[in-house]
Amino acid sequence: MLRVRGRSIAWIPPLVLLVAIAAIDWHTGGEFRTISWVVLVPGIAAAICGLWGTVFIALLAVATYELEDHTWPHQFQAGLPDFILVVVGSALAVLACAVRMREERRMLHMQDVVDTTRRTVLRPLPAGWGGLDHAAVYLAADSVARVGGDFYDIQPGPQGTRVLLGDVQGKGLGAVTAASALLSTFREAAYHEPALGAVADRLEIRMRRHVRYCAEIGRDDEERYATAVLVGFPPADPSYVEAINFGHEPPLVVAPDGVRPLPPGDGLPLGLGELGDGPPPVVRVPLAPGETLLLVTDGVSEARDGAGEFFPLYDLVARALAEDPCAAEPGRLVRLVRDGTVRHCGGHLEDDTTIFALRRRPTPGGE
């Protein structure tokens, strides 16, 4: 934990404490001996040093006790009982350090597993992937797990680039598994299906199949569903995008001259399509060059401050654009919304939070 230019200096605090205890003991009278306090030093080393560093500090503490105690006249020596205390305390500190190091290695291994899972669900997207300038940030409500039920992806294909962002109901491993199932289906369907509506149908069927499978193996996922926004960028006509909304927060179109929301999502969430009258409609939305789509999950739209007020996303973006039209650039827009959300809720995220901004890349010779 304590490093300077890549070198550990964790041994310095316990060593300084050891020297201080020895110095105090040397400069006080025989009626007030402090040398037995060196038993504290190996315990501090066990908390911040490695195993061999703790062994060294423990041996040094025992040696310091012996040397300094024997410099005093016999009647003032702490004697065998305190020596046993220092030896036993040092041995326990070494044992505690070994246990700590083992648990840290185990924790790092589990963190590697979590990071691998996160990269599998939310795969890294290359710059300009699918002909889009894009930026995204994902903030897990569980800062330890660092992965949850929010998901997003970009999939280019013969029918143009398709984009998906969504939020699985619930938390934990079940939500992560459902998000992974939807993303795997999206990556295949978005590439092969000629119509955006067919991609939506595939996602609905996949969600239902996933819920049935979980029920068969005894997992409590019977009411699992996901809100989502599916967006298509047709290659033949760059003047518009197609969008299907499964009960999700409507995306915002952010342009240098203002902000406007897409039509609200009147479709049912994925997995609940059988309860409605049919699949949600495909909506065509004009999208001029330089305009950015901003998609967020409810970690943003439902973020509350101490007074219970919802985060004013639209107003924040509109003010930022009025001050600087370049705020519509995806990277700057994502940072703006991220910082505003965290500031609004005081850093206490109640739900997983995803902010995803994208726009068409300028074509050669275009604007």
In order of their start, the domains of the chain are 3-114 (no CATH), 125-360 (3.60.40.10)
Average pLDDT over residues 55-60: 92
40 φ, ψ to 5°?
Answer: -75, -25
Question: Would you give the DSSP letter of residue 27?
Answer: T
Question: What residues form DSSP beta bridges with 254?
Answer: 259, 292
Task: Report which of residues 302 and 29 the model is more confident about.
Answer: 302
pLDDT class for 141, splitting at 50, 70, 90? low
In whole angstroms, how far apart are CA 112 and each of 105, 116, 119, 138, 237?
Answer: 11, 6, 10, 18, 43
Q: Kindly state the average pLDDT of the residues 306-313.
A: 86
* Residue entry with tokens 């110095």: 23
CA distance 162 to 233: 6
Model confidence at 78: pLDDT above 50: yes
pLDDT at 265: 67
The DSSP bridge partners found for residue 266 are none
Mean pLDDT over each residue of the chain, to the nearest integer? 85
Whether the predicted pLDDT of 9 surpasses 90 = no
**Residue written as tokens 């919304």?**
337
Work out the end-to-end distance of the chain between its first and last CA atoms, rounded to an integer number of angstroms. Answer: 50
- What does the pLDDT read at residue 366? 47
Task: Answer whether 337's CB lies under 8 Å from 330's CB.
Answer: no
Q: pTM value?
A: 0.72
